[in-house]
Chain A
Amino acid sequence: MSSDAIAIQTAEAAGRPWVETLHEWVTTVDHKRLGVLYILYALFFLVIGGIEAFIIRIQLMRPHNDFVSPQVFNRMFTMHGTTMIFFVAMPILFGFANYLVPLMIGARDMAFPRLNAFSFWLTAFGGLLLYFSFLGGSGLYGAGNAPDVGWWAYAPLASRAFSPGHSSDYWTVALLVSGFGSIGTAINIIATIISMRCPGMTLNRMPLLAWMNMVMSGMVLLAISPLTAAQIMLLVDRYLGGHFFDTQAGGSATLWMHFFWIFGHPEVYVLIIPCFAFASEIIPVFSRKPIFGYPVMVGATVCIAFVSMSVWAHHMFTIGMSSYANSFFTITTMAVGVPTGIKIFNWLGTMWGGKIQFKTPMLFCIGFLFQFLIAGLTGIMLASSPFDWQLGGSYFVVAHFHYVIVGGILFALFGAFYYWYPKITGRMLHEGLGKLHFWLFVIGFHLTFDLMHIPGLLGMPRRIYTYEPGRGWDTLNFLVTVGAFIQGIATLVFVANLVISYFKGAKAGNDPWDAWTLEWSVSSPPPEYNFASIPAVASRRPLWDLKHPEDPDSHYE
């Protein structure tokens, strides 16, 4: 059995000096280790991005606060946004994709293991570059500073004249480098899924996680590349005296917005589609039913990817586009709601009539469903261009996209952590701490982000570092900050759970959730080679077939 192989490995590892272990991790091309590296790296930046969020929230806690200066405030929201999107959300999702996709499709590794390692280290050095700006932003002499141009770095703010020194260059180069890493990983995921599936794993039998990660990777190719191109143009402007975004030489600031949002909006779906994937794996297992409407689910994913490539300018209603453009982008944006609604319906359909087990992963997925729906509804509100003219630059938008990213993406991610942690480490996460984490986080989340909509409706603009008292925003902003602290405590509970369970958690065994996909057929943690002999599958739930030979799925599909 596989446990023998594991025992030998650990015995070897115990006798080794730590330098050798470190060397192994640094030079590894194993998809599981790279997946873990991606996830740990992202968690590290989650803490940093979280601290930046706290600095922002403490500053806004009460009117006329002077916790940080306006300059520092600008740097904080720039770094918070950039960090959370590029160095937390992307790597953490790539980490899960890296770890799970080969295991779920019955492969021994990714299609290009060395490209995989290369991509990870590109991403890692991208993050280091971004944070090196704190030291080197003004050149190596004197005090450095972080970029302060916002995570979108609108032209001409990001030009030499308005952003002197090197802080914006660090931002540009960091995104460029990590963008190459993302493209490399996306190519790898696509090639793995197309070329490395085990016998019998037709596209029609592939786990939805693999399907959705393939769609996500396709979107990365089409969405990150424009950002890469735009960053090259910005570098040409800043270093070679080009005029792409130089309005004084006839360049266009609007063009940068288009290029940025051609990346920026699909990026939201790049992040949410893998979270759909987590929900699509977790909800069926804890409802004890196969997923409802598998082909429709796949179709809806492809449909979302397709439509979401044509909605970007809804971020630009307030700059004054033609009424045709406004109508087009309003309609396409609302159209994305249709396939997304289909998905929500399918998850509900999966739960309907199931024997639902309210374990922590399922709780987070239910939270995800509920909150993502509300985030989608405020999205539909903002998709209507007249409404957006009113609230486009307000805190309402901030509340909306944090509802998507925290309420949707982060909740699904937490669910994924609780669900696959046993597979990755061999130990269960503590259920009590998990439930505490969930409830604290739900309370903190709703306190922060539900209330955040209201100052926006009352006229509080985004990106302001302080405000006048007596506008009706004071109490709300205070409560929003309190909610942020509750979320912070919940996250500490989570981290404590990760650490404690790693050493003291109950042994997981191969298949703690009685699940149906291939990753649960191997030991936890899986052996280096994943599968001693490559499995063959005959249905969407190979382990169901194995456990119930008298009534296998393959008879019905």
Chain B
Amino acid sequence: MSTIATPLPETSAAWKLPYRGKVGMAGLIIAESAIFTIFVVAYLFYAGKSLSGPTPSEVLETPIFYTICLLSSSLTIHFAGKFLERGRRGAFLLLWVLTVTLGALFLYGTGQEWHRLIYEHGLTISTNLFGTTYYSLVGLHAFHVTAGLIMLTIVLLFGLAGRVGPEQSARIDVLSLYWHFVDAVWVVVFTVVYVLGR
């Protein structure tokens, strides 16, 4: 067929390159990190600059339980992936369900907090600078949790249908990379909003 340059055919034996899915996800994570950085910078830049209340120290309560939920879901998804790799589908599914539950719990926690802030303290995105920066930073993170949950649920449905086996292990790893990223971002958001920002 086409003219091929093959001066050294023997090189192909040990030629192994990184899995493209992982590289692609790493690229996405870099881009997302830059987006979150800008929102974090805005949050810190405007911390304490609101012209009117309510202020973070008056209304924010540290969501320790839900934070533990989200962070432990990183562990469950990691071990789920390990089990899948070894072909133990039952254990994989169990841990996967646990991951989805923990993620959903976290989202519920965010919803609870927003509900409380809006109805008890009258803080909306247009109230003051704190409201604007808080809802957009936490909201951006919650959006990523939601997107992750949707993908996790799709995998769960495929898993329940018996379609997820060890051969999908590499793809599952890509998804769990995303989920770890979402958790890592929460560590930053938590530090900025609930520790430094108060």
Which parts of A64-82 form the interface with B (CB within 8 Å)?
Answer: none
In the bound complex, CA of A327 to CA of B53 (Å): 38
B157 at the binding interface (Cβ < 8 Å): no
Q: Which of B2, B32, B125 has the most CB of A within 10 A?
A: B2
In the complex, which residues of chain A have a beta carbon less than 8 angstroms from the beta carbon of B27?
186-187, 190-191, 217, 221
A532 touches B5 (CB 8 A): no
B126 at the interface (CB under 8 A from A): yes
Cα–Cα distance between A535 and B38 once the two chains are bound (Å): 43
B132 at the A interface (CB under 8 A): yes
Say whether A200 contacts B15, CB under 8 Å: yes
Give the complex CA separation of A535 and B1 in angstroms: 12
B31 close to A183 (CB less than 8 A): yes
B121-136 contacts to A, CB under 8 A, are 125-126, 128-129, 132-133, 136
Interface locus among A91-99, A137-145, A240-248, A393-401: A240-248
Bitwise, A221-257 to B at CB < 8 A (1) or not (0) is 1111110111011001100111110000111100100
Distance in Å: Cβ of B82 to nearest Cβ of chain A = 23
Residue B57 CB within 8 A of the other chain: no
A186 to B33, CA, bound (A): 15
Interface residues of B in 3-48 (CB under 8 A from A): 3-9, 11-12, 15, 17-20, 23-24, 27-28, 30-39, 42, 45-46
Q: Counting CB contacts under 8 A, is A533 at the interface?
A: yes
B50 at interface by CB-CB < 8 Å: yes
Contact (Cβ within 8 A) B38 A225: yes
Within 8 A of B (CB), among A93-116: 111-112, 115
Contact A545/B20 with A200-B15, A221-B34, A229-B35 known, Cβ cut-off 8 Å: no
Mark contacts of B139-155 with chain A using CB atoms, 8 A cut-off: 1 yes-contact digit, 0 otherwise. 01000000000000000
Q: Which of A2, A192, A228, A536 is the one whose CB lies under 8 Å from B35?
A: A228
B2 and A521 contact, CB distance less than 8 A: yes
B49 within 8 A of A: yes
How distant is the Cα of A194 from the Cα of B51 in the complex, in angstroms? 50
Tell me the complex Cα distance, A197–B1, Å. 20
Docked-complex contact A537 and B45, CB < 8 angstroms:
no
- Residues in A whose Cβ lies below 8 Å from that of B35: 225-226, 228-229
- Write the chain A residue with the least CB distance to B36: A229
Q: Which one, B3, B20, B30, B126, contacts A112 given CB within 8 A?
A: B20
Contact size class for B?
Answer: 35 or more
From known contacts A233-B136, A240-B125, infer whether A187 and B28 are also in contact, taking CB-CB under 8 Å.
yes
B2:A523 contact, CB within 8 angstroms: yes
Q: Which residues of A contact B5 (CB under 8 A)?
A: 518, 521, 535-537, 542-543, 545-546
Complex Cα gap A200–B9 (Å) = 9
Given known A230-B38, A236-B125, contact A250–B46 (CB-CB < 8 A) = yes
Residues of B within 8 A of A244 (CB): 42, 46, 132-133, 136
Inter-chain CA distance A535–B11, complex, in Å, is: 10
Instruction: List residues of A (521-557) whose CB comes within 8 Å of B's CBs.
Output: 521-523, 526-527, 531-538, 542-543, 545-546, 549, 552, 554
Asked if B51 and A250 make an inter-chain contact with CB atoms under 8 angstroms apart, the answer reads yes
List A contacts of B36 (CB < 8 A): 229
Which A residues touch B7, using CB under 8 A? 536-538, 542, 545-546, 549, 552, 554
Shortest C-beta distance, A409 to chain B (Å), equals: 23
B20 touches A535 (CB 8 A): no
Q: B8, A536: Cβ atoms under 8 Å?
A: yes
Q: What's the minimum C-beta distance from B37 to chain A, rounded to whole angstroms?
A: 8
Q: In the complex, what distance in Å separates the CA atom of A518 from the CA atom of B3?
A: 10
Known: A240-B126, A251-B129, A549-B7. A2 touches B2 (CB 8 A): yes
Q: How far is the CA of A307 from the CA of B32 in the complex (A)?
A: 21
Does A1 have its Cβ within 8 Å of any Cβ on chain B? yes
Question: Are A533 and B8 touching (Cβ within 8 A)?
Answer: no
Q: Is A491 an interface residue (CB 8 A)?
A: no
Q: How far is the CB of A166 from chain B (nearest CB, A)?
A: 19
A233 touches B23 (CB 8 A): no
- Residues 394-413 (chain A) with a chain B CB within 8 angstroms: none
Please, which residues of chain A bring their CB within 8 A of the CB of B24?
Answer: 111-112, 115, 187-188, 190-191
Q: Does A5 contact B (CB under 8 A)?
A: yes
Q: Does A510 lie at the interface of the complex (its beta carbon under 8 Å from any beta carbon of B)?
A: yes
B31:A242 contact, CB within 8 angstroms: no
Q: Report the bound CA distance from A218 to B28 in whole Å.
A: 11
Contact: A242 with B20, CB < 8 Å? no
User: Is A259 part of the binding interface, using a Cβ–Cβ cutoff of 8 Å?
Assistant: yes
Contact between chains at A195 and B17 (CB < 8 Å)? yes
Question: Which B residues touch A542, using CB under 8 A?
Answer: 5, 7
Q: Which of A1-20 contact B (CB under 8 A)?
A: 1-2, 5
4 closest residue pairs by CB, A with B: A532-B1, A241-B126, A225-B34, A229-B38
Between A and B, 22 residue pairs with Cβ closer than 8 Å are A188-B24, A194-B17, A195-B23, A199-B11, A217-B27, A225-B34, A233-B42, A236-B136, A241-B125, A243-B126, A251-B129, A252-B45, A522-B2, A531-B4, A532-B1, A533-B4, A536-B6, A536-B12, A538-B8, A546-B5, A549-B7, A552-B7
Known: A244-B136, A522-B3. 5 other contacts (CB 8 A): A225-B35, A236-B136, A250-B46, A255-B42, A535-B6
Interface residues of A (CB under 8 A from B): 1-2, 5, 111-112, 115, 183, 186-188, 190-192, 194-197, 199-200, 217-218, 221-226, 228-230, 232-233, 236-237, 240-244, 249-252, 255, 259, 262, 510, 518, 521-523, 526-527, 531-538, 542-543, 545-546, 549, 552, 554
On B, residues with C-beta under 8 Å from A are 1-9, 11-12, 15, 17-20, 23-24, 27-28, 30-39, 42, 45-46, 49-51, 125-126, 128-129, 132-133, 136, 140
